[in-house]
Amino acid sequence: MAEPVTAQEAERHAFYDRISTQNLTPLWLSLANLVTPEPISPCQPASWRFSDIRAAMMEAGGLISAKEAERRVLVLENPGLRGQSKITTDLYAGVQMVLPGEIAPAHRHTQSALRFVLEGQGAHTSVNGERTIMHEGDFIITPPWAWHDHGNHSPDPIFWLDGLDIPLVQFLDASFMEHHKDDEQPLTRPTGDADARYGANLLPVDHKGGGGTSPVFNYPYARTRDALERLRKAREWDPCHGLKMRYTNPITGNHAMATMGTFVQLLPRGFATTKYRSSDATVFAPIEGRGRSIIGDDFVVEWQKRDIFVVPSWKHVRHEAAEDAVLFSFSDRPVQEALHLFREDRGNA
């Protein structure tokens, strides 16, 4: 039997119904769900096998061209956020494929994008008049409102992980997009110009200031891997991360992108990290090695090269490397840091 409604409760409900017609609602009924002691997110731990993604992408390649699709991508939807094209509550991820001879036509948008090359080499992406050749493990940036197109003149398909701040830009009602009149934008700078101009500890003499996005838009994996190997010799292993570095804007020293932090970490064979959690939900993509990660109390990801997995906000994670492993990752940490919201727990709390 339901408890009888008291006169006071009936009076309150009548009040709530009356003010609802004026688009008003009482905070005291929802405050506990709005301001929570810890993050409460529908984002769930999840993982994807690259072998499964690759097979589906090759099937999609026989069904639709890169030009027809504009971007032939399979979205990695978080199981707790299905139907929203989100891998975390404010980030998007997908895997894109461009087949030999194809062009993904030029467009631009206010969303920032990162590319992390999973398989293949010799294809290219062009950003604001400069072309860069893509190699496995390269991290490539498309700044907001920058013209960009992709092409593949190599004999093999190329696959990369796309990460974008689409949900964040949608939340801010700041999405704009424009298509170029040509499939490929005109090239106005030689390949390697941005790296020579900004990525060699040099700047043009009259350069002033620095934007939120790095002017270097390709961070080659060969250079990154060499740096990790040199740093390995110091044997300064962080118990939570192994050897973890962040990609930076060489002008400001800040994150390479304004809305997405990008990181790379080396875990030597047999290394097991201690328990770690942070407020930034993070997407991981191993590019070398194999191992496993334990997320929360019981979600175990057995991963290998090119697989993808996500750790939700404020969920503990531990990594165990079965062999030398390198993990690329990205999150919304720059936004959280700018808003003084970022928090981490290195197992001491």
The verdict on residue 253 lying in a domain is yes
The verdict on residue 341 lying in a domain is yes
The verdict on residue 170 lying in a domain is yes
In this predicted structure, what is the pLDDT of residue 285?
A: 98
Structural domain span for residue 294: 46-345
Tokens of 159: 């696959």
Tokens of 58: 């090759």
The verdict on residue 304 lying in a domain is yes
Tokens of 170: 């949608």
The verdict on residue 175 lying in a domain is yes
The verdict on residue 11 lying in a domain is no
The verdict on residue 329 lying in a domain is yes
- Here the CATH number for the domain that contains residue 50 is 2.60.120.10
Tokens of 98: 């461009």
Q: Which residues contact 233 (CB under 8 A, 6 or more apart)?
A: none
In this predicted structure, what is the pLDDT of residue 2?
A: 66
In this predicted structure, what is the pLDDT of residue 349?
A: 47
What residue ranges of the chain have pLDDT lower than 70?
1-2, 348-349
Whether the CA torsion 220, 287, 226, 329 is positive or negative: it is: positive
Residue closest to 266 by CA, chosen among 249, 289, 282 = 289
Task: Give dist(CA 61, CA 322) in Å, integer.
Answer: 34
Using DSSP's 3-state secondary structure scheme, residue 31 falls into helix
The verdict on residue 13 lying in a domain is no
In this predicted structure, what is the pLDDT of residue 209?
A: 75
| Tens of pLDDT, residues 40-80 | 999 999 999 999 999 999 999 999 999 999 999 999 999 99
Specify the number of domains making up the chain: 1
| Tens of pLDDT, residues 205-236 | 998 877 899 999 999 999 999 999 999 999 89
Task: Give dist(CA 78, CA 194) in Å, integer.
Answer: 35
